[in-house]
Amino acid sequence: MLEEGSKEASPEEWERTGSMLNAEHLLAGLPSPVLRLQPSRRISQINEWATVVMGRGSAECVGLPFEELLQKGGSPSQRENFEAAMEKCLAGEPVKVNLALSTPLGHPEYRCTLMPTMDLQGSVDGVIVLLRSERTPAAAGDGRSLESIKVLAKTSSDILENADLREIIEAEASRLVTSLGLDFAIFRIMTPDDRPLMLCNGIDYKEAREILESRLVDGTQMYMSVCRGRELVLNDLSEINEALLDVPRAQSLVCLNIHWSNKAYGCAVFGTRVPGLSMRAYYPVLQVFCNQVGISLRSAALYRELMSRNTELRGLYVTSQALSSTLELDELLRIILQTARDLVEADNCFIFKLDPLTERLKAISQISEDRLPVGMELKVGEGITGQVAITGRGTLVERADLDPRSYTIPGTDGAEPSSIICVPLRFSEDMLGVMTLERRPGTPFTPKQYELIELFSLQATMALHRALEYDKTKSYAANTQMYNVLLTHDVANFNVPIHGFLEILLKDPKLDDRQRRYVRSALVQSDNISELIADIRELSRLRAKGKEVSLAMVDMIPVITEAMNDIFSNVVYEDIETRFESPVETAFVRADGFLKDLFYNLLSNACKYGRGAPVEIGINEHVQDDREWWKVQIKDGGNGIPDERKAMLFKRYDQLDGVQGSDGHGLGLSVVWTLCVRYGGKVWIEDRVPGDTSKGSIFVVLLPKPLGGGA
């Protein structure tokens, strides 16, 4: 029995002792679904917990016959069971009965306790109904029905799997609003490209914007406050009036933050226009939905970043490939500019080359939508580009049209860009130029785009530096070729009559021994000039051919014999004794027409520095490193060669100094080394008398026997 003035009690105590409680106090104090019925079976009072169970607001429930909340059908029906329990309760008897309700969230079953309330005269004036769930807490959850969970799961799955976020959020928000019986939903989010986007369902954009921009009591706009992390659950008009200065046309609102981790992506507002519908019942479902939207926005942002990085890497790959495959500077710079322009969406792109003599910057490559003059020039220090050439530090200017350093190039229309990136092209300490990108008024360049252009500027720098070095190399090669022609043609022509006249003079019978010795010495030097010229010509030809080697089977024995005949037909060496020993009749190797030059240079060296002693030539078979070789030895009787100089004699004369060039053994041995490498062979020097470097030398040549053929 309940009477006025009773104290708050738990449901268990109320059911066990029948304590006398005030009805209003009871409904507000019990943490369980409780409602009060009039004798007419209509609901007169309902607490907040019961509105969650019913899935309806208090305004919608008050005055409603309780029978309309019961599930229809069954035998006996729910209404019959309820009516029987009400009859007993109105007679003053507490009753317990199992009832299945019909709510927007499903058909939950409750163990209902019905207790009569009495007026001051002791007459029954109503019935208190306490709802106790028949399911376990795990099965009952927090009041959400299985149907709502299924809707949420399907919605979350679709949002996470669909690439078109705008389309799927609009579609799933509509389905969620319909399934929960809401009137509208509003989303204000930041897209993966950092642009604001507003989506609406059940409400027009103007009204949606008014709701989002409604001012809270602290003066801040609602959407800004929610985006910063605040959440609002305004269950009825009175709560809305307390929270907002600008009251929208809504009866209840739930305002939730959309975020992932610590990054906010926007906010969502759900609401109803019908009074009495409690939004707190839907808060968990709506919160999970917003969380899924936040996760999807995060995934979309990561996907966009991944695609952006892939595009940047592809661009760098294209320019790197061009840098490694072509020496055409114009084409290479055009590829770099075009790729950089596409990635940062620039309007005008330039590469200026610095002329250190005139201190001017000239555009040597440009891509422009404004049809700017080709080959524009700037003085160093003029404009932002000219300043970068002086300081050597790049810059990003968001509003170049407002920058005092801006400079209008004569011949242009004077329309300044709104954003500019300038990056110096510096190699080591040398300033080569400046790379400049412009964007007309609009969204300015970002620091991330500046960093990307820095990468492309490195490639442009390498291209310019390589072009400069290539020009230097071509100039050096042209000069070398000119000197080579002068030496091998003009000087050789000068030496021919000198050599001829000396040979004639040497045979003159009128000369005495002293005079003949002088003439012979002059003839030797003239012959040295001829050999030097021949060696230079030979090295030039070998290096010009490079890797273009075409070898064939060649017999060394007749080649060595021919080289000996050429050497000793010279009047200077005709008196030197030679001995050629070969135990074989043929000795084939893979070589070409230069093979004779190899042995000619070795024989010439032996005669020149052998002090007139006999020269011995031997050829034998040799096995080394599990391979068969031909071993050729040329022995002289000269002064010998110290060990520390033996290996140096065959080095190329690319960096010849005066000391190396003044102590004999000139370019001829460099030709020998080059040809041995060409034929896959080896060459070295040994002492004629082991351990004694002063008793002459042995020049040893190893050339491989052909595999599968040759004698």
Kindly report, residue by residue over 280-326, the tens digit of the pLDDT.
Answer: 778 888 888 888 888 888 888 888 888 888 888 898 888 888 888 88
| CATH code of domain 146-304 | 3.30.450.40
CB < 8 Å & 24+ apart, contacts of 355-359: 356/431
Q: What is the 3-state secondary structure (H, E, C) of 343-389?
A: HHCCCEEEEEEEECCCCEEEEEEEEECCCCCCCCEEECCCHHHHHHH
Helical spans, DSSP H, in 123-220: 137-140, 146-161, 165-180, 205-212
Separation CA 423–CA 435 (nearest Å): 5
Q: At what angle do helices 595-609 and 667-678 cross, to 10 degrees?
A: 150
pLDDT category of residue 710 using cuts at 50, 70 and 90: low
Residue intervals in the chain for CATH 3.30.565.10: 541-704
Separation CA 542–CA 677 (nearest Å): 11
pLDDT at 138: 37
646 contacts 665 by C-beta, under 8 angstroms: no
Query: Which tokens go with 356?
Result: 């250190």
- Of 126, 99, 110, the C-alpha closest to 52 is 110
- Of 177, 34, 155, the C-alpha closest to 104 is 177
Contacts of 710 (CB under 8 A, 6+ apart): 553, 588, 589
| CATH code of domain 541-704 | 3.30.565.10
- Amino acid in the structure at residue 552: A
pLDDT at 135: 47
pLDDT at 71: 85
Contacts of 674 (CB under 8 A, 6+ apart): 539, 542, 652
Q: Looking at residues 583-592, what average pLDDT do you find?
A: 92
Q: Is the dihedral of CA 171, 173, 176, 182 positive or negative?
A: negative
Question: Across the chain, what does the average pLDDT equal?
Answer: 81
287 contacts 256 by C-beta, under 8 angstroms: yes
DSSP state of 556: H
pLDDT category of residue 141 using cuts at 50, 70 and 90: very low
3-state secondary structure of 113: strand
Residue intervals in the chain for CATH 3.30.450.20: 11-140
If you write DSSP's letter for every residue of 389-455 in order, what string do you get? HHH---EEES-GGG-TT--PPTTS-----SEEEEEEEEETTEEEEEEEEEE-SSSPP-HHHHHHHHH
Q: What is the pLDDT of residues 645-672, one digit of tens each?
A: 887 888 755 444 444 443 445 567 888 8
- Amino acid in the structure at residue 465: H
Strand partners, 215: 221
Q: Which CATH superfamily is domain 326-473 in?
A: GAF domain (3.30.450.40)
- For tokens 């968990």, name the residue: 284
pLDDT at 545: 65
3-state secondary structure of 658: helix
Residue intervals in the chain for CATH 3.30.450.40: 146-304, 326-473
Separation CA 101–CA 39 (nearest Å): 20
Percent of the chain with pLDDT over 90: 30
Q: Is the dihedral of CA 465, 466, 470, 476 positive or negative?
A: positive
Q: What is the pLDDT of residues 451-503, one digit of tens each?
A: 999 999 999 999 999 888 888 888 887 887 777 777 677 777 787 888 788 88
Fold classified for 11-140: Beta-Lactamase (3.30.450)
Q: What is the pLDDT of residues 148-167, one digit of tens each?
A: 555 555 555 555 555 567 88
Separation CA 183–CA 272 (nearest Å): 5
Q: Is the dihedral of CA 638, 643, 647, 648 positive or negative?
A: negative
| Residue with more model confidence, 572 or 596 | 596
* Per-residue pLDDT at 278 exceeds 80: no
Separation CA 583–CA 342 (nearest Å): 74
